[in-house]
Amino acid sequence: MLVHQYYSDDLNWSSHISNICRKAGSTVGFLRRNLRNCPQECRRLAYITLVRSTLEYGTTVWDPYLRRDIERLERVQRQAAGFITRDYKSRSPGCVSDMLKNLNLPPLEERRRQLRFNFLNRISEGLIPALPPDKFLTPAASRRRRVIPTRFQGYESSNIIERQAVNNTRGFRIPTCKTDQYKNSFFERTIAEWNQLSDADLPARPAQPASAASSALRLPSSGLPQH
């Protein structure tokens, strides 16, 4: 699969998102024409393999923060729900959301967020050689006070210090940001959201790769087996 990423001078990803939505929408149309008589599970698998993979390629880099771009991506999946279920007539409020829930297809925004957490988790454990943690991550100073936003029915408040709050023991310091593009780039945005999680909600530490020079299999110093 070849998916180009379109960059702009101001790091606005709207052009890139427009292109991948157009490509993914065309693929949904192709599948609709050719898999109309296939079982539902086959159509669902085709969507995941050929469409959702396009919508999520390289998403840790370009995960959008503008609501219009987020909704544009979600619209493709919502259209695909009708193809998978072969239900193009339902118009009742929440019908598409129910389809996606029954198909076990979570919102793409939620999946992108989890992908960013998993990638940051791997970086913090030194599993991405190109991004050494000692260069890109600084552990946050421990704080006794935990900042919890006040919640009302249908509304959640926020404040200026909430972004700097660290609610777990594996938090990181957020770099200083002056522009929206930098504020919503991978490290700054993901660290801010990561710090809001409790220890129980953090991803499990990834398994370290097995060492090639395991002590149990290490040869003698001569390099030859001893008898």
Q: In the chain, which residues have pLDDT < 50?
A: 1-2, 144, 212-217, 219-225, 227
Q: Tokens in use for 50?
A: 């050929």
Count CB-CB contacts under 10 A for residue 83.
21
Q: For residues 60 and 119, is the Cβ–Cβ distance under 8 A?
A: yes
Own/partner contacts of 188-193, CB < 8 Å, gap of 24 or more, are 189/63, 189/65, 189/116, 190/116, 190/117, 190/119, 190/120, 191/120, 191/137, 192/163, 193/113, 193/116, 193/117
Q: Tokens in use for 32?
A: 């609709």
Q: For residues 107 and 70, is the Cβ–Cβ distance under 8 A?
A: no
pTM: 0.80
Could you give the CA distance from residue 53 to residue 37 in angstroms, rounded to a whole number?
23
Residue 13's pLDDT is: 87
Q: For residues 147 and 158, is the Cβ–Cβ distance under 8 A?
A: no
